[in-house]
Structure 1
Amino acid sequence: MDTLDLIDRKIVAELMRDATLPVSQIADKVGLSQTPCWKRIQKLQEQGVLTARVALADPDKLGFGLTIFVGIEAPDHSADWREAFAKVTRDMPQIMEIYRMAGEMDYLLRIAVPDMAAFDTLYKRLTDAIPIKNVTSHFAMERIKFTTAYPVNTSAKP
């Protein structure tokens, strides 16, 4: 894929800030007319730069007041275990994100649940479904900063 030019970066930055903006407003902000701006947005989607447009919700107001970061140490690093782990976790919507890591833990999960009882149920379901060498849970007390927008360079200078 080609490197994004300044206008594409500005479009992406605007959409990450607010995906509900009409194309006309995005076009004004990035210095294009509406049709070329819409064509660039479509191209960014086709290239996979823009992967989805979603609404962000407050987890507390939806009843998901407990966020847990769980470190998983795998019993082995075989393709079979990785595939089984992916299959099991794919079917658990409370697991919001999964990262394969380098270092002391093999996987890091971000989990959102209503309370400790719900986490305990998920924990048992996960550990009963697949062998795991070690599980370390860290409970978030406060979310101080949260963003889904990457710090895209929107200046003309590299």
Structure 2
Amino acid sequence: MDEIDRKILNLLQKDATLSTAEIAEAVGLSTTPCWRRIQILEQEGYITRRVALVDRNKINVPLDVFVAIRTNEHNFDWLDEFARLVCEFPEVVELYRMSGEIDYLMRVVVPDMAAYDTFYKKLIKRVQLTDVSSSFAMERIKYTTALPLDYAIESGRSRRKRG
């Protein structure tokens, strides 16, 4: 990972539809070496996939609900089953196992409070939980899928290999 790789990743994080020629021009490379670098970034797992970001209002899921979960179950079998069940809900877009006072935190997207109530009832019917606390986002102030690249470490890849 060098400065050119970081620039390529930064561009792709902002717009994955850019052509290789557009990226090459922006980072100061010719097309073929730029294409090679992108291929290596994919092969090495820096680029895990390319997706389209959908306008949440146009598909009627404007409400973010942050759901804090506590459980008395702290074993691998319960965790595996919990993760499997939660991942079946398309409304759950993020799920984290946490340290501290809560055990799990999930972000749920739904059209409104009534839809969240329906989701909540399905969840507690399928999973044994000790405590569920929901917080509704009133305003989204910042949202990005772009990761900060300032912390990326120079890799030991040979310069010849990258092009």
- TM-score past 0.5 threshold: yes
Of the three residues 67, 74, 78, the one matched with 2:75 is: 78
Shift of 1:36: 1.1
2:46 match: 49
1:6 match: 3
Structure 1 runs, 4 residues or longer, greater than 6 Å off: none
1:102-123 alpha-carbon deviations (Å, 9 max, x no partner)? 1111111010011112111111
1:116-140 alpha-carbon deviations (Å, 9 max, x no partner)? 1211111111111111111110001
TM-score w.r.t. length of structure 2? 0.88
1:151 match: 148
- Confirm whether residue 25 of structure 1 aligns to residue 55 of structure 2: no
Shift of 1:65: 1.9
Of the three residues 92, 96, 109, the one matched with 2:93 is: 96
Shift of 1:60: 1.5
What residue ranges of structure 2 are gaps of 5+ in the alignment? 152-163
2:154 match: none
Partners of 1:95 and 1:109 within 8 A in 2: yes
Counterpart Cα distance in 1 of 2:102 and 2:39? 39
Matched-pair identity in %: 51
1:78-121 alpha-carbon deviations (Å, 9 max, x no partner)? 00110011110111011001111111111110100111121111
Size of the alignment, in residue pairs? 151
What residue ranges of structure 1 are gaps of 5+ in the alignment? none
Counterpart Cα distance in 2 of 1:110 and 1:30? 36
Counterpart Cα distance in 2 of 1:41 and 1:52? 12
TM-score w.r.t. length of structure 1? 0.91
Counterpart Cα distance in 2 of 1:126 and 1:75? 16
Shift of 1:153: 2.6
- AA in 2 matched with 1:94: E
1:65 match: 62
Counterpart Cα distance in 2 of 1:90 and 1:119? 16
Question: What is the root-mean-square deviation in Å for CA atoms of aligned residues?
Answer: 1.3
- AA in 1 matched with 2:67: V
2:161 match: none
